[in-house]
Amino acid sequence: MAEQLKAVKGMNDILPPDSARWEWLEEKVRALMQRYGYQNLRTPIVEPTPLFVRGLGEVTDIVEKEMYSFEDSMNGDRLTLRPENTAGVVRAVVEHSLLYDGGKRIYYMGPMFRHERPQRGRYRQFHQIGAEALGFAGPDVDAELILMCRALWQDLGLADVRLELNSLGQPDERRAHREALINYFEQHRDQLDAEAQRRLHSNPLRILDTKNPAMQALVEAAPKLMDYLGEASLAHLDAVRAVLDANGVPYRINPRLVRGMDYYNLTVFEWVTDRLGSQGTVCGGGRYDYLIEQIGGKPAPAVGWALGMERVLELLKELGTARAPKAPDVYAVVPGPQALAAAMKTVEALREQGVAVLMHAAGKDGWGSMKSQFKKADASGARVALVFGDDELARGEVAVKPLRDAGAAQSTRTLADVAAWAAELRAA
């Protein structure tokens, strides 16, 4: 017997009925994006490695430790399974000159890949939904994207998420803050853990995001970027806040909120929850006005967000609001092969009319007893069973048996005029 092969660690199969919940979430997102005027963009899973090195920054954790990178054995190209999709979206926008006639509102859904320790809601293959508004410089679009997130939580029935907001300012402001951070942490080097010491000169802003309890007091007292922001950066943040206030969106200014990618500036935000343990961030985003030029395009502003589908589904499950898989409208009970042709003709006609029909299928030992078929019909969740009995078929009819209303009587319908009673089954 051959050795059983299993999925790669941290890369999971999504099986029924869970897959129905994923489809439900995707449908909600597509409807939301249509309401806001965002169009779908699909990029390759594999991108050139330099795209992420240039876009995310050489000293980010993703580039240094987490990317699945390899050399193409055919031509020697350096390739990477995408660890995020903003850089890929920007690459596509630049490559195809999508901004030639003005700004674009884009969204995407799909798998991403990072080599990290698998844990609840965080896997090596994970799935993201993202929205990107490219070519728009104003704070109104920042606020629009945050309001879109709020609308999604409402559509999904999620109430236990809260918004945290910050500004990363502009590069010159961050450089001044960076120097102040390095000087501050140099004076307290003995209190830094190994990871913070490694980041001290390469990416000191990330030290502010440490989860080490022993460093919390030190980080709290560190110089705050907000104190280094100029008038224009503060005005941009104030304009975003004004829109949120006008729309009744509560938020907290979190001066320690930073991003792991180098391309962010001005507005950054996260939607967080306490329901998922240490993996509390459900959605994160912000403005990245320099990435398009960094990747080779003409300078243009941009802003966006991405959420983890696994985390959203985990949160729905935790709150008990996860959508149950949709049951079929009808279960077709087929006593034996003599009824098969008429049953399948009727079932196909119903499906053409929009009725969801699950049809009993013969096993290796035959069709099974009527009792066993009715047990399967009940377990399917269908509201009614269609029974293609010999007597009914001889009269050109099918029996309709309610499965969810014990007091309802069984009736018959004419096979020759399926369209006339299909609507009854959809609404039963």
Specify the pLDDT at position 323.
73
Lowest mean pLDDT among 113-117, 122-126, 204-208, 293-297: 204-208
8 Å CB contact between 356 and 348: no
Question: Does residue 324 carry a pLDDT above 80?
Answer: no
* Highest mean pLDDT of the ranges 154-158, 207-211, 316-320, 404-408: 154-158
Q: What 8-state DSSP symbol labels residue 403?
A: S
**How many Cβ atoms are within 10 Å of 348's Cβ, its own excluded?**
13
Quote the mean pLDDT of the chain: 91
The residues, ordered by sequence, that sit 6+ positions from 144 with a Cβ below 8 Å of its Cβ are: 36, 133
Question: Does residue 326 carry a pLDDT above 90?
Answer: no
34 alpha-carbon distance from chain centroid: 16
pLDDT band at 424 (very low <50, low <70, confident <90, very high): confident
Q: Report the candidate in 136, 375, 109, 157 with the shortest Cα–Cα distance to residue 267.
A: 136
Specify the pLDDT at position 426.
77
Q: What 8-state DSSP symbol labels residue 356?
A: -
Q: How far is CA 140 from CA 174, 306, 412, in A?
A: 23, 18, 60
What is the second-level CATH architecture of the domain 18-169+229-318?
2-Layer Sandwich (3.30)
* Highest mean pLDDT of the ranges 7-16, 117-126, 172-181, 297-306: 297-306
Q: 330-427: which CATH topology?
A: Rossmann fold (3.40.50)
Check if 18-169+229-318 and 330-427 are the same fold. Answer: no
Q: What 8-state DSSP symbol labels residue 409?
A: P
Q: Give the residue extent of every domain in the chain.
A: 18-169+229-318, 330-427
